[in-house]
């Protein structure tokens, strides 16, 4: 058995996963994610199936590597990119919402690992949505980040405070709205849900 | 379907207390006590402890010590003889236990006038008629419990024999083997079946099955077996927090909520469903759904 310590990406990148309700500017580093894109209302069947596929792939990769004696790591929490949510073009109808669901993954996980996991899941008859899972590299750089406590529907207040901070520093949005789901919405009361909201930013040109 | 009332529970428990009183010198195996109480042996001990406030072992030990106190006061038998009657191998062991319970060594106790018996949550003492106060039943009223009808569940499992706090190692091995073969896709349920009560069975002998729900096409292989958890009526309560606190929730659920709410437990083990992943969830946010099988 390998004696290398188990990798915990959230612990290794503490600043990126700690937030208070007061928005702050943080510098994020490059990160790799398992990701699946889709469209539909959060909590709806397309969304739920995608979450299931993403976790199925994530755990299958992890366990396959573990069985082979490779370095172990914790499967990270669900995150999501919502491209239209902060540029004012999001549809009123949630069924039209597009999202990219992600789970942060160590850089030593390869596309060969992904391919193998999908094949294994297909053999079990659980692969249909899994085939859509991809490896994604993101480098968001400078971001505004804040903790939102409460229902997802009430994020606009938190987003507004983040926008003021950005404007104060002469920054504007440079990438999709990014959410990190710290709480499980199936089990936590809506008013107590904790979600980190992250908005990549860059200098606004005059 | 006959519902059990609190009085039914009390009556059955009183039978056990009387039996213990009458057979205080004999070994009192739990299966026999469960039989006397007409309770499922799986659940008897938790019900006993929940209603009486002490484990069977603690209750019996206390009663034997109280009888010993009575002998010290009312007769002239030697401390050694009294110690042997109370079930202790040695004078020293008896003296230690006695002092813990009564605050004085047996010989000093003999000389002192005022005696305070050791505390009893149920109010039942050796030399009094048995009137249970059931003070401990005041808790358990605020538990959130749902009654559910479950379908039978087919599960792959790995048997763990040993301390409950070491089941993580079995889970690690089990999930690695199942995961690499693609059985962690499709959101399978992960649950544990405790065949033995950690309060009753010696730590190293506890049997626990780490289970993962599977389809008909999964075949047992190596250390991994297959079993079907019976369907039927279940009471379910959610334990929030670290796994090492589960015992308290089980005790309240089976020992206090059950008697108060008119349900009779089926003779089958409980199981616990792990709602979130302990490898990535802080202990205080862990959620475990405990299912107790009920008579239909």
Q: How confident is the model at residue B134 (pLDDT cuts 50, 70, 90)?
A: low
Percent of chain B with pLDDT over 90: 47
Chain-chain contact of A63 with B176 (C-beta, under 8 angstroms): yes
Rounded to a whole number, what is the distance in Å from the CA of A172 to chain B's nearest CA? 34
Chain-chain contact of B181 with A120 (C-beta, under 8 angstroms): yes
Mean pLDDT (whole number) for B215-240: 94
Torsion of CA B69, B70, B76, B77, to 10 degrees: -70
Same domain for B154 and B92: no
Rounded to a whole number, what is the distance in Å from the CA of B100 to chain A's nearest CA? 45
Cα–Cα distance for residue pair B229/B222, rounded to 1 Å? 21
Same domain for B277 and B177: yes
pLDDT tens column, B170-208: 999 999 999 999 999 988 999 999 998 877 788 899 999
Residue B274 in any domain: the answer is yes
A170-184, B64-78, B107-121: segment of lowest average pLDDT: B107-121
CATH for A101: 3.20.80.10
Residue B121 in any domain: the answer is no
Check residue B152 and give its pLDDT. 96
Same domain for B97 and B201: no
Interface test with A, best of B186, B236, B240 (most A CBs within 10 A): B186
Q: What angle, rounded to 10 degrees, do the helices at B56-74 and B91-102 form?
A: 100
In DSSP notation, A103-119 reads: EEE-TT--HHHHHHHHH
Residue A10 in any domain: the answer is no
Range of the domain at B94: 58-111
B261 against B223, higher pLDDT: B223
Residue B11 in any domain: the answer is no
Q: How confident is the model at residue A1 (pLDDT cuts 50, 70, 90)?
A: very low
Chain B residues near residue A127 by CB distance under 8 angstroms: 185
User: Are B63 and B123 within 8 A, CB to CB?
Assistant: no
Check residue A15 and give its pLDDT. 87
**Residue A3: is its pLDDT beyond 70?**
no
Chain-chain contact of A124 with B181 (C-beta, under 8 angstroms): yes
**Residue B75: is its pLDDT beyond 70?**
yes
Count the domains in chain B: 2
Same domain for B225 and B97: no
User: Are B33 and B57 within 8 A, CB to CB?
Assistant: no
Interface check for B120 against chain A (CB to CB < 8 A): the answer is: no
Residue A150 in any domain: the answer is yes
Residue A76 in any domain: the answer is yes
CATH for B95: 1.10.10.60
CATH for B188: 3.20.80.10
A196 against B200, higher pLDDT: A196
Same domain for B289 and B184: yes
A7-16, B109-118, B250-259, B272-281: segment of lowest average pLDDT: B109-118
Interface test with A, best of B144, B168, B183, B185 (most A CBs within 10 A): B185
**Residue B241: is its pLDDT beyond 50?**
yes
Check residue A135 and give its pLDDT. 97
Q: How confident is the model at residue A94 (pLDDT cuts 50, 70, 90)?
A: confident
Check residue A92 and give its pLDDT. 78
Same domain for B245 and B174: yes
Residue with structure tokens 């009123």?
A92
Same domain for B159 and B270: yes
Cα–Cα distance for residue pair A105/A149, rounded to 1 Å? 25
Phi, psi (degrees; rounded to nearest 5) at B212: -130, 130
Same domain for B187 and B104: no
Chain-chain contact of B184 with A63 (C-beta, under 8 angstroms): yes
**Residue B161: is its pLDDT beyond 60?**
yes
Same domain for B268 and B196: yes
**Residue A87: is its pLDDT beyond 60?**
yes
Range of the domain at A46: 18-203
Residue B20 in any domain: the answer is no
Q: How confident is the model at residue B2 (pLDDT cuts 50, 70, 90)?
A: low
Count the domains in chain A: 1
Interface test with A, best of B179, B189, B274 (most A CBs within 10 A): B179
**Residue B236: is its pLDDT beyond 60?**
yes
Same domain for B159 and B76: no
Chain-chain contact of A52 with B178 (C-beta, under 8 angstroms): no
Residue B183 in any domain: the answer is yes
Cα–Cα distance for residue pair A183/B287, rounded to 1 Å? 12
Same domain for B193 and B96: no
User: Are B237 and B255 within 8 A, CB to CB?
Assistant: no
């Amino acid at each position: 058995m390998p004696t290398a310590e188990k990798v915990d990406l959230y612990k290794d990148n503490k600043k990126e996963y700690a937030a208070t309700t007061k928005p702050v500017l943080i510098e994020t580093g490059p990160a790799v994610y398992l990701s699946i894109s889709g469209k539909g209302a959060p909590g709806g069947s397309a969304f739920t199936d995608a979450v299931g596929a993403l976790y199925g792939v994530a755990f299958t990769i992890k366990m396959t590597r573990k069985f082979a004696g490779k370095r172990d790591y914790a499967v990270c929490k669900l995150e999501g990119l919502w491209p239209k949510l902060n540029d004012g073009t999001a549809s009123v109808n949630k069924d039209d919402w597009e999202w990219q669901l992600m789970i942060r993954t160590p850089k030593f996980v390869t596309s060969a690992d992904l391919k193998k996991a999908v094949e294994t899941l297909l053999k079990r008859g659980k692969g249909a949505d899994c085939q859509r899972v991809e490896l994604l590299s993101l480098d968001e750089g400078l971001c505004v980040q804040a903790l939102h406590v409460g229902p997802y529907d009430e994020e606009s207040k938190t987003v507004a405070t983040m926008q003021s901070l950005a404007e104060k520093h002469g920054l504007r949005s440079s990438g999709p709205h990014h959410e990190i789901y710290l709480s499980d919405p199936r089990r936590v009361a809506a008013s107590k849900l904790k979600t980190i909201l992250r908005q990549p930013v860059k200098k606004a040109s005059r | 379907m006959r519902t059990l009332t609190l009085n039914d529970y009390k009556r059955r428990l009183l039978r056990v207390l009387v039996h213990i009183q009458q057979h205080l010198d004999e070994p009192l195996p739990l299966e026999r006590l469960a039989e006397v109480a007409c309770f499922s042996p799986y659940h008897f001990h938790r019900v006993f402890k929940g209603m009486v406030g002490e484990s069977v072992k603690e209750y019996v030990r206390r009663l034997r010590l109280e009888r010993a106190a009575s002998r010290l006061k009312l007769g002239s038998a030697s401390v050694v003889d009294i110690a042997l009657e109370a079930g202790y191998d040695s004078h020293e062991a008896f003296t230690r236990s006695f002092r813990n319970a009564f605050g004085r060594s047996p010989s000093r106790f003999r000389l002192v006038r005022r005696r305070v018996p050791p505390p009893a949550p149920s109010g039942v003492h050796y030399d009094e008629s048995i009137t249970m106060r059931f003070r401990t039943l005041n808790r358990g009223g605020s538990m959130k419990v749902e009654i559910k009808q479950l379908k039978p569940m087919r599960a792959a499992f790995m048997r763990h024999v040993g301390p409950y706090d070491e089941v993580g190692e079995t889970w690690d091995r089990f999930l690695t083997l199942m995961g690499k073969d693609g059985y962690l896709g499709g959101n399978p349920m992960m649950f544990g079946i405790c065949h033995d009560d950690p309060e009753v069975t010696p730590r190293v002998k506890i049997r626990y099955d780490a289970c993962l729900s599977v389809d008909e096409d999964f075949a047992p292989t190596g250390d991994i077996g297959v079993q079907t958890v019976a369907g039927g009526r279940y009471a379910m309560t959610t334990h929030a927090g670290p796994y090492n606190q589960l015992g308290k929730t089980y005790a309240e659920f089976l020992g206090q909520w059950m008697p108060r709410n008119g349900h009779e437990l089926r003779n089958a083990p409980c199981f616990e469903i792990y709602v979130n992943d302990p490898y990535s969830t802080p202990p205080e946010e862990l959620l475990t759904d405990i299912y107790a099988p009920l008579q239909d």
